Amino acid sequence: MKKFSGKKVCAAVFISGRGSNLKSLINFSKTKISPIKIEIVFSNNKSAFGLKFAKEKKIEIIHLNEKNFNILEQKLAKILNERKIELICLAGFMKILSNSFIKKFNGKIINIHPSLLPKYKGLNTHRRVIENKEDYTGCTVHFVNSKLDSGKIILQKKIKIFKKDNEKTLAQRVLTEEHKIYPKAIIRLFS
């Protein structure tokens, strides 16, 4: 990415549900040190709770009424290009993007995942981490490529797992760190 010179780059955030990472990214984007401004929020789920933050901050929400996901992606790509979106941040986006969409925005899509990748790709990370009696877990911001949760890592945060931790407490502690590392990873991208 081009070094941040003070002129913010247009970004889009894709979500599917709660949207706490979206909220943290919106708050970050309003700061002076943020290299991005969030122009668009897209959700594959029109009742996603997180859309409420976007509405509050008057950020445009894109919801496409299209059952065929390939066609939907084509329409979405057109909108993103028209709006000159240069960074797409996946934040709890639970749909897998097609290879052709990823190619179109090569190197411009990043994701946050609640584990220390390459360990625990996919779903239910906290449950699996506890079942396997791991000592550490964490979260990772990485580029999106054609393989699930496998793109180049931008930033990770490691977290100690306590004996008393369960899936819920661990998810909460990891999430608190996610809210900090996603903005940090974006700063790193433009440094």
Name which of residues 94 to 153 contact ligand GAR (CB under 6 A).
112-114
Main-chain dihedrals φ then ψ at residue 62, nearest 5 degrees: -105, 120
Least distance (Å) between residue 49 CB and ligand GAR: 8
Q: Are 17 and 48 in contact (CB under 8 A)?
A: yes
Q: Is 186 in the site for ligand GAR (CB under 6 A)?
A: no
Considering only 17-25, 59-67, 129-137, 161-169, which stretch makes contact with ligand GAR by CB under 6 A?
A: 17-25
C-alpha–C-alpha distance, residues 100 and 116, integer Å: 27
Q: Report the nearest approach of ligand GAR to the CB of residue 172 (Å).
A: 10
- Kindly state the smallest distance separating residue 175's Cβ from ligand GAR, in Å: 5
Longest Cα–Cα distance in the chain:
51
| Helix (H) and strand (E) counts in the chain | 6, 7
Judged by beta carbon, residue 81 or residue 124, the one nearer ligand GAR is 124
Where does 1-152 show beta strands of DSSP type E? 9-15, 36-43, 60-62, 87-90, 109-113, 136-143
Residue tagged active-site, from 63, 113, 142, 179: 113
Is residue 183 within the footprint of ligand GAR (CB under 6 A)? no
- Residue corresponding to tokens 């959700």: 43
Q: Cite the beta strand spans of the chain per DSSP E.
A: 9-15, 36-43, 60-62, 87-90, 109-113, 136-143, 153-160
Is position 113 annotated as part of the catalytic site? yes
Cβ 178 to ligand GAR shortest distance, Å: 5
Residue burial 51-86, b: 16+ Cβ < 10 Å; e: rest: bebbeeeebebbebeeeebeebbbebeeebeeeebb
Residue from 92, 138, 151, 183 in contact with ligand GAR (CB under 6 A):
92
Segment contacting ligand GAR by CB under 6 A, of 16-24, 34-42, 95-103, 127-135:
16-24
Q: Does 178 bind ligand GAR (CB under 6 A)?
A: yes
Give the count of residues interacting with ligand GAR (CB under 6 A): 14
Residues belonging to the active site? 113
Which stretches of the chain bind ligand GAR, using CB under 6 A?
15, 17-21, 50, 91-92, 112-114, 175, 178
